[in-house]
Structure 1
Amino acid sequence: MAVMTTTFWIVILALAVLLATVAATWLGLPALSRQQRPWIRRVFGLPVTIVLVLVLAACGRATSEKTVRKLAGSPESLKARQEVELANRDVIAVWDAETPLTLGLVVLEDVCVGGSAKELFFPTGSDRYKIKCTMSVAAYFGADPRRMADTIDGVLSAGDRTGPPIPFDHEFHYARTVVDYYRGKTGNPQGPGTREPTELFGGTTLTLSWDQVRSGNTGEVIEEPRPCSPHDPPVRRCLNEPASTSVADLRREYGMVFKITMPVTNYFTVWK
């Protein structure tokens, strides 16, 4: 911070000297013709522009790695991180206890990134904060593909009982239609000629997705989690629990896989 402040005032001093020089030169010149004045403005305008750019750069540098690590490990960050992680794990526990699904794998990614230097062109907003930490959580469950209708209907019944942790219930018309589709009572809820349903959206809460089971070997299936970034707490955490379990393992054991995806949570930000 001291270095940034010193640089800022050096640039300000240089700008002041340059402007004073320009003013003195301008006042000391005899009356200029109209043809000469634009040339003078261009000559002095370029260095002024350069200095202004340097001032803006000095006012907003990228957050150093040391500062990112310090802020990511602060008590405020640790408290916010723990609260968000526990809230997500509580939701997963409700799904495991209340629905017909069997929990097999939990994946958590937690990343803190530093803010960028002042963005002069194509701003993204990353120059407005010193650090931003986000967390994403997903859980994978095994299920019997021969009982699709009962499984999804069981999820809706669980939602009737629990409310928000399971944002799908029997008031959700599309979900009821999906159940009827798997019972053979109605056509594809997405319309004739469309693919087999693969998910239910819970608005801003979570998404439930599953393997297609009526399309044979050509059906879409839940993919493996993406490879973890290097585990480097408190800046980066990537957990696969249990580490030895894959989505393919769950599919082999149970027949098919369901997945709930929680929305990415921005749990800690320090503004510049």
Structure 2
Amino acid sequence: MLRGVTVIGPPRRGDALSITAERIMGRRSFLMSVIAVAMFGASVAHAQSKELVVGTDTSFMPFEFKQGDKYVGFDLDLWAEIAKDQGWKYKIQPMDFAGLIPALQTQNIDVALSGMTIKEERKKAIDFSAPYYDSGLAAMVQIGDTSIKSIDDLNGKVIGAKTGTATIDWIKAHLKPKEIRQFPNIDQAYLALEAGRVDAAMHDTPNVLYFVNTEGKGKVKVAGAPVSGDKYGIGFPKGSPLVPKVNESLTRIKADGRYARLYKKWFGSEPPKS
């Protein structure tokens, strides 16, 4: 030790300086917690007061589509119930499906509602609500086609599908088609099938079934059993304070019968037991 120099080490626990430092740090931690809660509350309050922008691809029957001068569908009815439950104002922003996630990332929209499959890859870019619909994939062929009786028969065929969807990923992982012909909107894939430009069209089961029983009736049919396992979620920007609120509303809507009424309205049956 140098003479005449007093070396002051770190304060020992129990020293007055140590106690004072601990109190200061404790107060800082408390203040930071209060600030975090206040900021979250302010974000929720802001969501309550502002008009939310809900992005949706309006070519996905029966979930969202244009009927006359109005946008209708299961998703839009469900969101109307959620917004009513939370007291939110909102407007619908039609856009291509492929643009929904980028729009969430840049916060040009607050919500993405378009039969969006919950995928791990997507969860890295955006947040999802709890699942609200159990879906899957189905293949559709021309009514007179006898060469494709199941999804396995799509190997070596030209398959039409929608760009940017889970369908593309599934086909690449499970089939060996001659070609995957991608379309911006699934309606274009269905028209290509009717015209014979693709051998089959593959998309989410409820949309395929809806088309087969409406516009495509007598012209197209489902080929084999659908593939199950996909679940839809509502998309949000990362860290959105809307997610827990939406999940609360989904729980209430399912519990009080509103979900079942909407499901039966658009799909003609009771929702499956979860």
* TM-score computed with the length of structure 2 as normaliser: 0.31
Relative to its length, the structure with more strand (as a share) is 2
* TM-score computed with the length of structure 1 as normaliser: 0.31
